[in-house]
Amino acid sequence: MSGTSLVTARERALAVLGGEPDDATLRRYLHGIAGVDAVGLEQRAAGLGTRSIKTTSKRRALDTIISLIDLTTLEGADTPGKVRSLVAKAVSPDPTDATTPRVAAVCVYGDMVPYAVDALGGAHGDPDDGLISVAAVATAFPSGRSSLDIKLADTAEAVAAGADEIDMVIDRGAFLAGRYGLVFDQIAAVKEACRRPDGTSASLKVILETGELVTYDNVRRASWLSILAGGDFIKTSTGKVQPAATLPVTLLMLEVVRDWHLATGQRIGVKPAGGIRASKDAIKYLVTVAETVGEEWLRPHLFRFGASSLLNDVLLQRQKLATGHYSGADYVTID
């Protein structure tokens, strides 16, 4: 899967910023963007959460959610066996119902990529074609506390092993210390490391770790910064820090993506990750996407859920819609 070429991204950044992406220029630009009123943002998110998605809309929403999931395992204890089990679930989420869509991707640590690729076999490919992509976390995930060389090597290995997508983390310490130039350069370098010899590129998701950025103004700025530096997706969290994804934070990131599209014509993706366990909540995210940036974004190249237990909850809901009665944990598989 190819992402945006690096050269174009830097040129675009220069054009938008009106100068080199150093600390001072970036600060001037990012701090000049309109602020966020947290109370108002949270109220808007809560309002979107009151949408009542029922019957046919619900059925469609559930299938959409599944098709947008990055089914994830990111544990120190991951083994090839665990990854194989995850992949099997990704390919066939509900063995009792062949109409169940497949997930968009599996998301694993970089050193697990070969096992994921191997297990997927013929099912490996572009989600737009009904296949499943492999996403790898990289850059000293989740903390990001390591040298740039190590982060780039981490990335390059995952890409070489077959990862279609890289989920990197920004350097939050650098961001909070105002070293925007460093954050920019790291993202740009990782994007470069996503390039393959054949000229294609893995798609780059940039994890902001919103739980550590804390304020919405920071999230707004980090989102713009990540897009300027060449990210294809902006992602809320590693899932290892609380709070992870929230509806207000995701709404905010969608607003940035909307404004970026209005300004440049380019479409950037959004991925909320961590803490979305219930179908009811995931549906709120779909509504928020559709009513903020447009339902065009409800496809794998522009929106993902980083989740593990969400899938089973969606399957239970799907079963209820199919059978008319409530289902239970015995009727979905563990992965």
The catalytic residues are 167, 235, 271
The least distance separating another protein from the CB of residue 293, rounded to whole angstroms, comes to 10
Nearer to another protein, 15 or 263 (CB): 263
DSSP-based three-state secondary structure for 273 = strand
Binding residues vs another protein (CB under 8 A)? 34-37, 39-41, 43-44, 50-58, 60-61, 64, 255, 286, 290-291, 295, 298
Q: What is the DSSP string of 240-268?
A: SSSS---HHHHHHHHHHHHHHHHHHS---
Nearer to another protein, 31 or 196 (CB): 31
CA distance 288 to 284: 6
Nearer to another protein, 32 or 81 (CB): 32
DSSP-based three-state secondary structure for 72 = strand
The least distance separating another protein from the CB of residue 300, rounded to whole angstroms, comes to 15
CA angle (326 as vertex; 323, 330 as ends), nearest 5: 95
With residue 294 as reference, give the H or E element that holds it. Answer: none
The least distance separating another protein from the CB of residue 59, rounded to whole angstroms, comes to 9
Asked if the bond preceding 243 is cis, omega within 30° of 0, the reply is yes
Burial 197-220 (b: 16+ CB within 10 A, else e): eeeebbbbbbbbbbbbbeebbbbb
The least distance separating another protein from the CB of residue 250, rounded to whole angstroms, comes to 13
- Token code pair at residue 76: 């120190």
CB proximity list for 280: less than 8 A, separation 6 or greater? none
Nearer to another protein, 216 or 233 (CB): 216
Nearer to another protein, 11 or 37 (CB): 37
Nearer to another protein, 23 or 63 (CB): 63
- Token code pair at residue 8: 């174009």
The least distance separating another protein from the CB of residue 166, rounded to whole angstroms, comes to 29
- Biggest alpha carbon–alpha carbon distance for the chain: 61
- Token code pair at residue 240: 């290892």
The least distance separating another protein from the CB of residue 292, rounded to whole angstroms, comes to 8
CA distance 219 to 75: 26
Which phi and psi angles does 5 have, rounded to 5°? -75, 145
Nearer to another protein, 157 or 255 (CB): 255
Q: How long is the chain?
A: 335
Give me the amino acid identity at 107: C
The least distance separating another protein from the CB of residue 244, rounded to whole angstroms, comes to 21
Q: Angle 80-91/113-120 helices, nearest 10 degrees? A: 40
- Token code pair at residue 185: 């350069």
